[in-house]
């Protein structure tokens, strides 16, 4: 990091030169913090307190007197159905992320390791899928799903999430398998291990860092997905969080329970937010790894 | 690469992924393309009932006022938003790679909006940042003696939406720029420093020319994201389509699934398909153009 500077301590001239940069970053970061902090504070207040000039002071009063309105969360989870959406999203996300990896990893392995006719063609097919707008595919899918009477089925939604994320995941994992040394396979072959067994017993576990990174990515993508679930999950019982939250916000116009609404917002972004706080370095490395390939 | 013949394994390992691909990408892409040349009312209509109409759907689109508005908004997002987002992303990438303290922290915070649900982000912007009485923008303005602005009024709604959307995207494109800059060897910058080049000269003569490939990726990725622009349009005009915020996908959703209001009474899946084809065409054209422009004198890193 500090390769340019000769000193371990503070190089005053250099820091002064970087001042405009520091300022710009600071403004952006402070803004982001206020944005998130505001909604978290608002989620613990009553509607009247949120819509007043002294919002922050009422937050600190409540904080110091232990009267934060946790019942906003209870109401959001129960009355506003966010609990249902949350559990739906959890089921969709966990099951699709597992399946995505189990399907993409073998494909990525074969594409990165074997010479065969059609390899390059399949790779370019996959890269096309990453640039196709969702609106290009949504109508025929809707046609199939309604014809088969599969609307509002969790399995339909999970199926679509799996399919949508296979191209990206396969591309991402190809880079990982490419970097693994072929000596592992050679050793396994000498020991009489079949190539398929070699993959599941040796190569798949070796690609674990890549598999974890790409799964975090898929988790975030699927958790926040909006367009597909808007079309394929239009019943309250099957909605995931993004569409559920949108519907809740729309009805909020009439009920006016702002505290409950902001509590819902916090519940919806908490899982990906917390994941990010703990794993941001990994996620950031993944963005750059995946994007350059694509 | 292992060159052993292993056809059974190759087929077995590729089949599931390819099956999913065929069902969810290949078949739908082909069907949508064909559908855009037919008069089709509802998506679930049988192929036998489709009536060939040539470019009819496209002509109909070009005479629809709502489509004009949606394309105009799309182009504004693509160009104005694109220039601003990529410029800011590049600026932050240069700042964060210039030896600044707290680089990792700043990088994480700037990328943060990308991991939060767009619906949640949009709610924060609409209810807090743009609020006329206690919003952060108006509070800052009035602090410096300015007058409060109605951020979600007729003239400002589009730009407010674009700012909120762009705010999140900066972090993503910044990361891609950073990884590009970090792959440029430090020896270039050291040589330039010895020659007495200042920060701006280094940027113009080293960073920018060597980032052409990365710039191309960013332009294509931005275009792909903008062709999917949907949820922000819905968040900023939730009740019905408005000329201020409609984008092609919002219009298509209304045409095909006719969700919210009476803005459009008739269903027309054929026109929806034509919008899809046009959006895909935009991605293809931008990708081809940017490859053409950057390939001419590409520097291999």
- Count the alpha carbons within 13 Å of B232 in the hemisphere toward its beta carbon: 28
Q: Do B120 and A129 lie within an 8 Å CB cutoff?
A: no
Tokens 């398998």 — which residue? Answer: A177
Judge whether B110 and B92 are in contact, CB under 8 Å: yes
User: By the CB < 8 Å criterion, does B47 face chain A?
Assistant: no
Average of per-residue pLDDT across A187-203: 90
Whole-number pLDDT of residue A294 = 33
Interface test with A, best of B13, B177, B184, B235 (most A CBs within 10 A): B13
CATH of domain B49-186+212-295: 1.10.3720.10
CB proximity list for B14: less than 8 A, separation 6 or greater:
A106, A107, A110, A111, A122
- Where in the sequence of chain A do the CATH 1.10.3720.10 domains occur? 75-293
Residues on chain A touching B175 (C-beta within 8 angstroms): 284, 287-288, 291
Tokens 């999950």 — which residue? Answer: A233
Least confident of A91-95, A101-105, B289-293: B289-293
CB proximity list for A281: less than 8 A, separation 6 or greater:
B104, B108
Q: Phi then psi for A80, rounded to 5 degrees?
A: -90, 10
Q: Do B13 and A245 lie within an 8 Å CB cutoff?
A: no
A288 or B142: which leads in pLDDT? B142
Judge whether B157 and B237 are in contact, CB under 8 Å: yes
- The percent of residues above 70 in pLDDT, for chain B, comes to 94
Whole-number pLDDT of residue B298 = 53
Q: Delimit the domains of chain B by residue range.
A: 49-186+212-295
B179 or A291: which leads in pLDDT? B179
Closest CB to A103 among B1, B20, B92: B20
Among B residues 103-132, those touching chain A with beta carbons less than 8 Å apart: 103-113, 115-120, 123-125, 127-129
Question: How far is the C-alpha of A277 from the C-alpha of B3, rounded, in Å?
Answer: 43
CB proximity list for A25: less than 8 A, separation 6 or greater:
B92, B95, B96, B100, B102, B106, B110
pLDDT at A283 over 60: yes
Q: What is the pLDDT of residues B208-219, one digit of tens each?
A: 888 888 999 999
Whole-number pLDDT of residue A44 = 93
- The percent of residues above 90 in pLDDT, for chain A, comes to 59
- pLDDT-derived band at B31 (thresholds 50, 70, 90) equals very high
- pLDDT-derived band at B236 (thresholds 50, 70, 90) equals very high
Pick the CATH number of A75-293 from 3.40.50.300, 3.30.360.10, 1.10.3720.10, 3.30.70.20: 1.10.3720.10
Q: Which residues of B111-147 are buried (b: 16+ CB within 10 A; e: fewer)?
A: bbbbbbbbbbbbbbbbbbbbbeeebbbbeeeeeeeee
């Amino acid at each position: 990091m500090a390769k340019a500077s000769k000193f371990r301590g503070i190089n005053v001239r250099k820091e002064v030169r970087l001042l405009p940069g520091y300022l710009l970053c600071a403004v952006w970061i402070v803004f982001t913090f206020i944005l998130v902090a505001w909604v978290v504070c608002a989620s613990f207040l009553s509607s009247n307190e949120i819509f007043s000039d002294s919002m922050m002071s009422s937050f600190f009063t409540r904080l110091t007197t232990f009267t934060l309105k946790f019942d906003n969360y209870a109401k959001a989870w129960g009355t506003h159905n966010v609990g249902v959406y949350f559990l739906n999203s959890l089921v969709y996300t966990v099951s699709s992320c597992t399946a995505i990896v189990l399907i993409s990893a073998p494909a990525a392995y074969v594409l990165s390791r074997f010479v065969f006719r059609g390899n390059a063609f399949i790779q370019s097919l996959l890269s096309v899928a990453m640039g196709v707008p969702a609106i290009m595919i949504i109508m025929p899918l809707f046609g199939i799903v309604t014809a088969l009477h599969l609307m509002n089925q969790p399995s339909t939604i999970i199926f679509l999430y799996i399919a949508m994320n296979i191209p990206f995941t396969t591309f991402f994992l190809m880079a990982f398998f490419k970097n693994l040394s072929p000596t592992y396979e050679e050793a396994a072959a000498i020991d009489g291990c079949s190539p398929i067994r070699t993959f599941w017993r040796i190569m798949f576990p070796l690609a674990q860092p890549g598999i974890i990174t790409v799964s975090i990515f898929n988790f975030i993508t699927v958790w926040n997905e909006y367009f597909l679930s808007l079309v394929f999950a239009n019943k309250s019982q099957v909605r995931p969080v993004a569409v559920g939250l949108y519907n809740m916000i729309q009805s909020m116009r009439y009920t006016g329970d702002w505290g409950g609404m902001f509590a819902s917002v916090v519940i919806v972004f908490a899982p990906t937010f917390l994941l990010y706080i703990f794993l941001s370095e990994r996620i950031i490395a993944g963005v750059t790894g995946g994007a350059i390939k694509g | 690469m292992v060159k052993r013949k292993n056809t059974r394994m190759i087929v077995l390992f590729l089949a599931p992924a390819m099956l999913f691909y065929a069902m969810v990408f290949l078949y739908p892409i082909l069907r949508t393309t064909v559908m855009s040349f037919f008069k089709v009312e509802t998506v679930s209509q049988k192929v036998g009932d489709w009536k060939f109409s040539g470019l009819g759907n496209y002509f109909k689109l070009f005479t629809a006022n709502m489509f004009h508005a949606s394309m105009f908004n799309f182009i504004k997002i693509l160009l104005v938003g694109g220039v601003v987002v990529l410029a800011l992303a590049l600026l932050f990438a240069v700042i964060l790679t210039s030896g600044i303290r707290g680089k990792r922290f700043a990088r994480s915070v700037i990328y943060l909006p990308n991991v939060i649900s767009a619906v949640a982000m949009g709610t924060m912007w609409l209810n807090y940042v743009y609020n006329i009485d206690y919003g952060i923008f108006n509070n800052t303005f009035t602090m410096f003696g300015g007058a409060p602005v109605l951020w979600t009024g007729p003239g400002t709604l589009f730009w407010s939406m674009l700012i909120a959307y762009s705010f999140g995207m900066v972090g993503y494109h910044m990361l891609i720029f950073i990884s590009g800059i970090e792959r440029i060897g430090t020896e270039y910058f050291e040589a330039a420093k010895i020659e007495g080049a200042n920060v701006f000269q280094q940027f113009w003569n080293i960073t920018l020319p060597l980032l052409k490939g990365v710039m191309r990726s960013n332009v294509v990725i931005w275009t792909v994201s903008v062709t999917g622009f949907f949820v922000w349009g819905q968040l900023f005009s939730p009740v019905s389509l408005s000329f201020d915020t409609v984008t092609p996908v919002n219009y298509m959703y209304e045409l095909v699934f006719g969700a919210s209001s009476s803005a459009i009474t008739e269903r027309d899946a054929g026109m929806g398909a034509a919008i899809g084809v046009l959006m895909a065409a935009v991605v293809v054209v931008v990708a081809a153009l940017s490859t053409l422009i950057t390939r001419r004198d590409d520097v291999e890193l």
